[in-house]
Structures are given as C-alpha cells and as structure tokens.
C-alpha cells in the first residue's frame, strides 16, 4: 500500500512497529511536489523512516535510478526530466508584466518544461532577450518552473535581429531594436549567404568594450524589401511557432463532419456569418427572431472545434503551445492547421458544420430570461461582411442585395438594440479608440495606414458574442465544472491616480478614494468626447487599467462590468475557448456516458498553468502585431524625410516626447535636443516638459508641426524635431516666469526643496555650439 508523508503525533503505532515503506508512486509524487530536488535525508524524514529501514529505502531509490525513474545523487534526488536547482538560462521573451521566459542555455531544442523568470525590480536587474543568467529554479508544476536570478552572466544581449548593410568589402549589422543607432561588425562565414538589405538573426560575440563589437549571423530571414519580410522578422523576434509538426498535420487530415445523431438539427435556421471582408475563417454565426412580450430569441452558433481536436493529441498539444492565432498585417499564423481552421470548422455558406449553439431568450430591455447551450448541426445561409450589414442598417442596401431572406438582418439589429439597453444599464468602460490597420494592395505591399472606428454592425456581433460568453460561464458555474474565466481586475489606484490632474484639466473631478467602477472613468471620457483631447484621454484611461487575463479564479470582468465571463466564441483561434467548449461538453454529458471530447478530468492546477501560458502567448501575439504595424508605418514615412507634418504629443518622458503623426498613422520620437533651446524640467505627475528661461511648455495633447529627420523601417523608429505650430501659445507669462525663477532660486538655497515630483533635464548641447551654463 502506498504511504504518503504524514505528521503522526506521539504514541502512533508506527512509532513502535515502524512505518510502512513507501512504494514507487508515493516516492515519485513526493519528489515531484518539492520545489527543489530533495535529499535522501529529507525523503526519509517526510515518510518517517527510522534508522533501521533507511538501508531498504536507499536500495529502493537506487533501483528506481537504475531503471531511469530517478536521477541525481543522495544529496539531490529528482525525476529524470527535472531541471537542476541552479542552472544557466537564456532569456527568450518577456511578457507585459515584465517577467521573462527562458530555456536552458545552449539548448536550442524545444523545452519540455516552461521556465518563467521572476525579475527583481528592487535590484534593478534588467537583462535583455538573448542574455544568459545564473538562476535558482523552483518547480511549481509538473512542467513549470519559476526562476530567480542569482546574477547576470553577460550584461550584453546575445541574440539580436537586424538588417545587413554593405560596408567596403564586407558587411555591417544595423540592429532592429529601437534606440540602437550603432552598427556592428559581421563575422565572416560561408554558412549564411548575405546581401545588402537582408534581415538576419545574429548572435553577439564576446568582446571587451564597444569598439570592434561583432555578431555572428545565425540565419537569413530574407531581404527587407521582399513581401512578408517584416512579418518574418516578428515571428523570429517573438519566437512565434509557425510550422506545424507532421503529427499534427497528419491528425488534421481525413477528419469528417459528424452525423446529426445526438445533435440538434438547426440546418433550416437562417444563420448568417458576419465578418471582415478579408476574413478567412468563420467561427460564429448568428440568428435572431421576435419572441413573446416584445422579447427576442437569439442563436449564437460556434464551430465545434472540440469534436475534432481531442485532449492530449498532437493537434491539441500544438494548439496549447501556440495559445492563439497571430494576426499580422500581411500574414496569419493559425492556432490550428488550415484543414480545420479554414475548412471543417469554418462555417461556410451551404455546408453542414458541427457547432455548439447558445440559445438565449431576452426581454425587450436585453435582460436574459433563459438559455441553453448544446451541440448541433447547422448550415450558414450567407457570408456577410460588416460593411454590408452596416449598409442595410443605414438604408443604402437592401437585404435582397445580400442574398438573405427579408427581415433577417433587421431582426438582428432589433435584438441588438435590446442588448444595447442592457449594456447602458450596467455601464461598462466606454473607451472610444480607433484601430490602426495596414492597407495592403493585391501584391501584398503596404500602401497606407488607416484608422478604423467601430461600426454598429461590429458592435452588434460584439454584443451577441458577449451574451453567449456570459451564458457559457454561467452554465459551467451552475454545473460545477472547471471554467477558464476571462478576468479583468480593478485598476491599481496608483495608476488611476494619474487621471486626477487630467480630469481637473477637463473641468471635472476624479476621486480615487472610493471603490472604482467603470462609470467613474466614463465621466472623464465624456468630458473629452468630441474634443481634440479625446484620443489622448482615451489612451490615458486605457493605460490606467489592469490587463485582462485567463484564470480559474473568478474575480469578474471590470471593463465589461460583468460578474461571470469566459471566452466561448472563438475556439478556432483561442485555446481558452476550446477548454471552455470541453467543459461544456462535460456539463452536458450524463454520468453514464462521459464524452471523449471533454476535459478528461484535467487537474485544476494544470488548467491554472495553461491559463498563465495562454495569457502570455496572447500578450506576445499583440506585441508582435504592434511591432509589425510600427515597421510598416515607418516604411511608409520614408518618403517624408525632410517634410514637415502635423502631430500631437502622445506621451512625455525625461528624454523627450513621443508624437503621434498625421492623426495616428505613426509615432515619432522628438528628443530634448529637438525642442526649442532651453533647460527643461520633466514633471512625471503632470506629464509635462517646461523650459526654465524661455517659457516653453510641452504636455500630452499639445498639437505641433514637426520635421521628419530620420526613418528606420526595420526598427520602426521615426526621429523628428519641433518646427512650430501648436506650442505657439504655450509660452509662460512674465508673472509665471518670475515665480518659476523664484522657485529655482529657493531650490538652489535649500537642498531639501529639490525633493519634488519634477526631474531636471538639461537640453543637450547642439552640434557646433557650446552648452550654456544655466
């Protein structure tokens, strides 16, 4: 019989006859539960093995080691796949929370274990991707480790990306990272063929000092001028998986649509898909019709991915590693092979498709009356675009032009108006931000950056999906099934405090002394609506918010003002939704007939680990998309070098200002030396730069005219300088200048008075002039 570690009290019979010897399973369970490999003495103590029995325990452990069940020695015994407690790691990525992901140094193969590096903010360690660290590992799950840095072995970034430039008889490497202006020498090699303009992955070679630094080229990603170059760079830079293993491809072939048996037949219901014009996969279809008492009946049909992607198969494991699809301007990296994502699970018109369908009844005010979620067989009756549906709503197009029966689209809008009433009642966060998109021509070349506002047709689909997501979460809670919740925490009061001054400047107030609710932020947004400050205020409110993540702990969704919320509507492109579908399958299964499509009893701690992982992959995908759009935007600005363009200050730092150019098409850096000559003070709380002598003041939202000095598409960097325009009226009055002079005179007399929220920033000397003493 297995014996697990116990804490027996005195007088226990085991003290007399000796405890039972633990079996192999009990030993492995205990060893794997330890944060670090335990010693023989720790194992003996945990199982209360007395001195007479320790020889037998040693013999058992030695036998397990001989059979490959254990590794290590008497001072550190571990499972054979356990990583050493102290290891040399290489950082490979960072998430938005500042924590890193790492692998064992020198190991380019796929890690079976995930290593998360917890960075020390207090000690100020900030290693970059590619650097090596000595770290202490603690095992926190079957295949998950937390690492804490002992020391950084090499402060210089080892792995980097950049563009090759011809230099004399050789080449140099210009790093793709923003702010890296100095190029590196390239080690000559016959392994990788290089030409001017090639994007490459490189390794920084050891050296002393900066002069003479060289890099060894690891791989050529293609020429920077070729289509798809920026996306290829993002995939390599963010370590995004984009090639499916053969086993996953093989499993995706030969799959078939299931019969209608044990499914509800909804093929005669005129469900329609509504997506963007360039969408390739259609994972949701909708339908609405009037119900009793002016209410509505909604159907939200979602592709039944769980029928095809079963737990622990090659398809499932690859989807879990990817976490989500990645959408770049000129390329999509799907979570699932195209045989599934673009065919079997794509709800194409006129094709039978397996689906999970949420049937929801609401009253005339959008309040849910009843719901159920079940498996069905459906047929989409039309593939509509947002533009078509919006045109029907605006009256510029008739439903017959969309090839749908009369009343179908109008019924959808009728149901949406009811849902919108409920939205207004619960008052979710009402951000109004445009989406920046890259416009591509037929040859997949970028031709423009567009700003898209959300249309009513997009809001319709969004609110239908939210209603279905809430129903899925409620069903799993009611059936006591595990649920992957989509949670959004209350904002950090410290971040929210940055909005106090902003609210005052807009003529309002923002009290952070009470429990924050979305409507408190909405009041600030309303003050800025339809003003030049609208975009700046919306972005400031967005920055004050916590980050939405996946979790098994339900803390609600602050932004949507919902108590229960999960992602259910996009299992083709999000692994979280696939887990929710499996849990719903388990909820619907009877005790006599369990489903092989469900979670199969997956432990909660494993689901929690997956939640952390897919939250990170989501952040990585978003960062890769932003980075790629920045590069396309910079490339489109190359033709404007030397031109003067309009801009508005988006953020202020101690080294200058970031300026949004041409209504958000791109962002440029305006360093201090590009401002009017003065000695500038940076106030972090008010986000301003203020000149001591000439009275210039720059703050977030200030309109400007700026000159484009330099553009580097590979890094996404645009360097600009102030010309004139919006700051014309920002000169301080003579009275303000006098008060400012008194303040600094007093500051110079009293050292303690320097301890304020401002940071003094001297204007760098301009080339060819002496730095003035101020």
Cα(684)–Cα(654) distance, integer angstroms: 8
pLDDT beyond 80 at 47: yes
Per-residue confidence band for 420, with pLDDT thresholds at 50, 70 and 90: very high
**Averaged pLDDT for residues 575-583:** 98
Half-sphere exposure at residue 718, Cβ-oriented, CA atoms within 13 angstroms: 30
Q: Which residues of 381-391 are buried (b: 16+ CB within 10 A; e: fewer)?
A: bbbbbbebbbb
**Averaged pLDDT for residues 266-293:** 94
Per-residue confidence band for 398, with pLDDT thresholds at 50, 70 and 90: very high
Cα(224)–Cα(538) distance, integer angstroms: 35
Q: 3-class SS at 649? A: strand
Among 275-279, 521-525, 769-773, name the one with the lowest average pLDDT.
Answer: 769-773
Phi (first) and psi of residue 302, to 5 degrees: -120, 135
The token duo for 302 is 């979602």
Among 139-148, 218-227, 300-309, 532-541, name the one with the lowest average pLDDT.
Answer: 139-148
Q: Select the more confidently predicted residue: 706 or 37.
A: 706
**Residue ranges of E strands in 125-240:** 132-141, 144-152, 159-167, 170-175, 184-186, 198-204, 214-223
Q: How many CB atoms lie within 10 A of CB 732?
A: 18
Residue 564: predicted pLDDT: 98
Residue 210: predicted pLDDT: 54
pLDDT beyond 50 at 14: no
65-109 pLDDT, tens digit per residue, is 777 677 666 656 766 556 777 888 888 776 655 578 888 876 655
Phi (first) and psi of residue 45, to 5 degrees: -70, -40
Residue 29: predicted pLDDT: 78
Contact status, residue 343 vs residue 254, Cβ threshold 8 Å: no
Contact status, residue 288 vs residue 274, Cβ threshold 8 Å: no
Per-residue confidence band for 765, with pLDDT thresholds at 50, 70 and 90: very low
Among 487-501, 614-628, 727-741, 756-770, name the one with the lowest average pLDDT.
Answer: 756-770
pLDDT beyond 70 at 590: no
Among 24-28, 234-238, 339-343, 677-681, name the one with the lowest average pLDDT.
Answer: 24-28
Per-residue confidence band for 145, with pLDDT thresholds at 50, 70 and 90: confident
DSSP 233-261: HHHHHTT---S--HHHHHHHTT--PPPST
Q: C-alpha distances in angstroms, 713 versus 161, 173, 329?
A: 13, 14, 15
pLDDT beyond 80 at 551: yes
Average pLDDT, the chain: 84
The candidate with the shortest Cα–Cα distance to 689, out of 710, 674, 668, 706, is 674
Which percentage of the chain shows pLDDT scores above 70? 83
Residue 655: predicted pLDDT: 86
Per-residue confidence band for 737, with pLDDT thresholds at 50, 70 and 90: very low
Contact status, residue 728 vs residue 702, Cβ threshold 8 Å: no
């Amino acid at each position: 019989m297995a014996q697990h570690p116990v804490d027996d009290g005195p007088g226990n019979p085991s003290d007399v006859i000796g405890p039972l010897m633990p079996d192999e399973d009990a030993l492995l369970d205990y060893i794997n539960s330890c944060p670090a490999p335990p010693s023989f003495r720790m194992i003996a103590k945990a199982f209360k093995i007395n001195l007479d029995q320790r020889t037998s325990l040693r013999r058992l452990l030695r036998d397990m080691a001989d059979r490959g069940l254990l590794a290590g020695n008497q001072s550190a015994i571990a499972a054979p796949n356990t990583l050493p407690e102290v290891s040399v790691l290489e950082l490979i990525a960072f998430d938005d929370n500042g924590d890193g992901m790492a692998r064992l140094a020198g190991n380019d193969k796929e890690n079976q274990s995930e290593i998360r590096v917890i960075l020390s903010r207090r000690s100020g360690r900030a290693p970059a991707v590619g650097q090596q660290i000595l770290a202490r590992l603690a095992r926190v799950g079957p295949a998950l480790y937390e690492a804490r840095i002992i020391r950084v072995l090499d402060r210089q970034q080892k792995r980097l990306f950049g563009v090759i430039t011809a230099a004399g008889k050789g080449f140099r490497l210009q790093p793709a990272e923003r702010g890296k202006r100095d190029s590196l020498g390239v080690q000559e090699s016959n392994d990788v063929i290089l030409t001017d303009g090639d994007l490459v992955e490189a390794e920084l070679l050891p050296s002393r000092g900066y002069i003479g630094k060289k890099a060894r080229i690891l791989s050529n990603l293609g020429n920077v001028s070729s289509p798809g170059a920026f996306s290829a760079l993002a995939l390599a830079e963010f370590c995004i998986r984009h090639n499916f293993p053969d086993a996953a491809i093989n499993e995706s072939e030969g799959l078939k649509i299931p019969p209608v048996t044990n499914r509800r037949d909804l093929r005669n219901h005129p469900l329609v898909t509504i997506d963007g014009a360039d969408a390739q996969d259609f994972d949701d279809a909708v339908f609405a019709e009037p119900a009793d008492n002016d209410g509505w009946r909604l159907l939200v049909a979602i592709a039944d991915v769980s029928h095809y992607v079963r737990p622990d198969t090659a398809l499932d494991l690859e989807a879990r590693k990817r976490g989500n699809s990645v959408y770049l301007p000129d390329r999509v990296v799907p979570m699932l092979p195209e045989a599934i994502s673009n065919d079997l699970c794509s709800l194409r018109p006129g094709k039978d498709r397996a689906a999970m369908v949420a049937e929801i009844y609401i009253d005339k005010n959008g309040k849910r009356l009843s719901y159920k979620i079940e498996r069905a067989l459906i047929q989409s009756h039309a593939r509509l675009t947002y533009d078509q549906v919006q045109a029907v709503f605006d009256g510029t197009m008739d439903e017959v032009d969309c090839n749908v029966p009369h009343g179908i689209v109008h019924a959808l809008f009728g149901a949406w108006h009811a849902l919108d009433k409920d939205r207004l009642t619960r008052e979710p966060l009402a951000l109004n931000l445009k989406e920046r998109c890259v416009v591509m021509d037929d040859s997949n070349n970028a031709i423009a950056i567009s700003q898209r506002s959300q249309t009513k047709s997009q809001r319709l689909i969004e609110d239908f999906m939210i209603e279905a997501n809430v129903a899925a979460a409620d069903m799993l809670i009611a059936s006591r099934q595990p649920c992957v919740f989509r949670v959004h925490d209350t904002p950090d009061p410290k971040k929210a405090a940055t909005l106090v001054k902003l609210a005052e400047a807009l003529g309002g107030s923002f009290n952070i002394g009470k429990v924050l609710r979305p409507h408190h932020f909405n009041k600030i947004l309303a003050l800025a609506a339809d003003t030049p400050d609208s975009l700046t205020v919306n972005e400031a409110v967005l920055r004050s918010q916590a980050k939405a993540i996946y979790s098994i702990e339900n803390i609600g969704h602050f932004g949507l003002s919902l108590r229960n919320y999960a992602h259910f509507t996009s299992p083709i492109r999000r692994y979280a939704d696939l887990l929710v579908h499996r849990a719903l399958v388990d909820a619907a299964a009877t005790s006599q007939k369990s489903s092989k499509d469900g979670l199969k009893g997956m432990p909660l701690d494993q689901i929690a680990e997956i939640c952390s992982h897919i939250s990170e992959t989501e952040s990585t995908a978003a960062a890769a998309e932003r980075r790629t759009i920045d590069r396309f935007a910079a490339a489109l600005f190359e033709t404007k070098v030397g031109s003067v363009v309009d801009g508005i200050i988006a953020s202020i730092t101690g080294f200058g200002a970031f300026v949004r150019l041409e209504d958000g098409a791109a962002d440029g850096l305006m360093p201090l030396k590009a401002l009017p000559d003065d000695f500038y003070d940076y106030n972090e709380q008010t986000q301003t730069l203020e000149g001591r002598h000439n009275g210039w003041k720059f703050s977030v939202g200030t309109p400007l005219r700026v000159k484009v000095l330099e553009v580097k598409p590979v890094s996404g960097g645009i360097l600009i300088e102030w010309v004139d325009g919006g700051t014309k009226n920002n000169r301080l009055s003579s009275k303000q200048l006098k008060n400012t002079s008194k303040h600094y005179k007093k500051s110079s007399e009293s050292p303690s008075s320097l301890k304020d929220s401002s940071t003094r920033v001297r204007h760098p000397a301009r080339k060819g002039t002496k730095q003035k003493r101020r």
